[in-house]
């Protein structure tokens, strides 16, 4: 017999919401971390953006192994394990950053990302199938609110505890002799140790809490069985679902533009010579716009507009805001980049359920492939960091963003239906 969905999923949603809060904090703290590592390790822009590349590449390498781990551990133990892995990564990042050994700090971020890959491989399909798949975007939007509230807080917390006075410190370092410079950088780098050690301890406690929580096991492969997927018993390969593979690419470009708008906005603002003490919190503005976008999605989907149609509207807004950023300058241009948060907000909630719809027994592997698409957050921002060394940064930004939104528009209009008509028949 297929396991039934919980009669009252409120407790499960609350637990998953807390986990999305953790995901949000550890993900969106990467924006201010770019500023931190650039100064603490005395890096150029391209090397500082390795923070994003290493963090998001961990999803690519760990998503499929995560699906295998979850089959052995079950969801609850898998989530507890993911929190423990993140705790190890946070402790390592704090320790190696204090020692100012950049490869070790990047390894810590990779471990954090690995834990998040395991966590996201479990909870994204879980929240999608906790209720009807047609309203999954609303539930994911609620999770997104938890995620983005944490994202708003992360730059503020790190900005206050670690990056306070970073503009003045940068000026002091520029004018200091070699010995004084090293001393100043050692003191600055050590500021990260306390916050990350605290995070590590909290993650260990949450790991134990999740292990003993009432969170039920729910197999996506059995619950995600729609009439269209009834014919999936005849399917022998994940490659027979074109809408999934188009969705993986869609999620790849979506995460790329999301990270560009959220984590790269500080670097974008710095391109206009805006002060570091202001650019360090620009990520919070993008996340605030995303929060507004999630609220709009909760109110409109699916009562007023379908999740696929809302995705189309979001893609068009993304193109318009990207062009607005290109055509303006200074704080106005940065404002358009922050506004991309509103356009991006409901993309993940729409793309993920559209891509895994009707996969049946292939749901777990399909979800893992979708999580691999998060690697877009590694590739697209790194292209921005490299290309802006040679070309106008606003032009590079627009040339990367607009084609991505065009593909998202294609997926919302046609791509998510690829192969679906044949299955329905």
Say what the pTM is.
0.84
pLDDT by residue for the chain (425 residues), tens only, comes to 344 455 456 777 888 888 889 888 998 899 999 999 999 999 999 999 999 999 999 999 998 898 888 888 887 888 899 999 999 999 999 999 999 999 999 999 999 999 999 988 878 767 766 666 666 667 777 887 888 889 889 989 998 999 988 888 988 998 999 999 999 999 999 999 999 999 999 999 999 988 888 877 655 555 445 444 444 556 778 888 999 999 999 999 999 999 999 999 999 999 999 998 888 889 999 989 998 998 888 888 878 888 789 999 999 999 999 999 999 999 999 999 999 999 999 898 889 888 988 887 787 788 889 989 999 999 999 999 999 999 999 999 999 999 999 999 999 999 988 877 555 43
b vs e for 352-384, b when ≥16 Cβ sit within 10 Å of the residue's Cβ?
A: bbbbbbbbbbbbbbbbbbbbbbbbbbbbbbbbb
User: Quick check: is 3 in a domain?
Assistant: no
| Residue 341 domain boundaries | 10-424
User: Quick check: is 81 in a domain?
Assistant: yes
User: Quick check: is 95 in a domain?
Assistant: yes
User: Quick check: is 1 in a domain?
Assistant: no
At residue 275, what are phi and psi to the nearest 5 degrees? -65, 145
The CATH number that applies at residue 53 is 1.20.1250.20
User: Quick check: is 83 in a domain?
Assistant: yes
Contact 341, 263 (CB under 8 A): no
User: Quick check: is 112 in a domain?
Assistant: yes
Predicted local distance difference test score (pLDDT) of residue 136: 66
Contact 266, 35 (CB under 8 A): yes
- Which H/E stretch holds residue 113? helix 102-129
Count CA within 13 A, CB hemisphere, residue 304: 6
Predicted local distance difference test score (pLDDT) of residue 280: 85
Q: How many domains does the chain have?
A: 1
User: Quick check: is 4 in a domain?
Assistant: no
CA-closest candidate to residue 287, choices 344, 334, 326, 350: 344
User: Quick check: is 5 in a domain?
Assistant: no
């Amino acid at each position: 017999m297929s396991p039934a969905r919980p009669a009252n999923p409120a407790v499960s949603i609350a637990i998953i919401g807390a986990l999305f809060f953790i995901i949000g904090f550890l993900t969106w703290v990467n924006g201010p971390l770019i500023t931190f590592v650039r100064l603490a390790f005395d890096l150029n822009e391209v090397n500082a953006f390795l923070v994003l590349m290493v963090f998001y590449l961990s999803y690519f390498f760990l998503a499929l192994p995560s699906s295998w781990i979850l089959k052995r551990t079950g969801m609850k133990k898998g989530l507890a394990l993911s929190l423990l892995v993140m705790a190890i990564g946070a402790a390592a990042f704090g320790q190696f950053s204090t020692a100012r050994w950049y490869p070790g700090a990047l390894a810590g971020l990779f471990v954090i990302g690995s834990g998040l890959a395991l966590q996201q491989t479990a909870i994204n399909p879980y929240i999608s199938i906790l209720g009807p798949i047609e309203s999954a975007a609303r539930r994911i939007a609620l999770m997104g609110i938890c995620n983005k509230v944490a994202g708003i807080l992360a730059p503020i917390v790190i900005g206050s505890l670690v990056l306070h006075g970073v503009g003045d410190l940068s000026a002091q370092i520029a004018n200091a002799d070699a010995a004084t410079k090293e001393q100043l950088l050692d003191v600055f780098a050590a500021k990260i140790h306390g916050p990350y050690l605290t995070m590590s301890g909290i993650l260990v406690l949450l790991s134990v809490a999740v292990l003993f929580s009432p969170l039920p096991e729910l197999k996506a492969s059995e619950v995600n069985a729609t009439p269209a997927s009834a014919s999936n018993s005849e399917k022998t390969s994940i490659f027979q679902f074109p809408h999934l593979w188009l969705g993986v690419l869609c999620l790849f470009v979506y995460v790329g533009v999301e990270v560009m708008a959220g984590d790269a906005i500080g670097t974008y603002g710095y391109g206009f010579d805006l002060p570091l003490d202001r650019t360090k919190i620009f990520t919070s503005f993008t996340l605030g716009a995303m929060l507004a976008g999630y609220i709009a999605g909760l109110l409109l989907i699916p009562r007023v507009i379908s999740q696929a149609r809302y995705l189309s509207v979001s893609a068009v807004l993304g193109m318009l805001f990207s062009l607005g950023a290109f055509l303006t300058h200074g704080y106005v241009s940065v404002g358009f980049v922050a506004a991309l948060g509103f356009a991006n907000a409901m993309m993940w909630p729409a793309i993920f359920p559209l891509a895994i719809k009707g996969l049946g027994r292939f749901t777990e592997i399909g979800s893992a492939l979708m999580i691999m698409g998060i690697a877009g957050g590694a590739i697209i921002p790194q292209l921005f960091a490299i290309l802006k060394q040679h070309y106008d940064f606003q032009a590079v930004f627009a040339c990367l963003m607009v084609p991505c939104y065009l593909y998202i528009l294609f997926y919302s209009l046609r791509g998510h239906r690829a192969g679906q008509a044949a299955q329905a028949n």
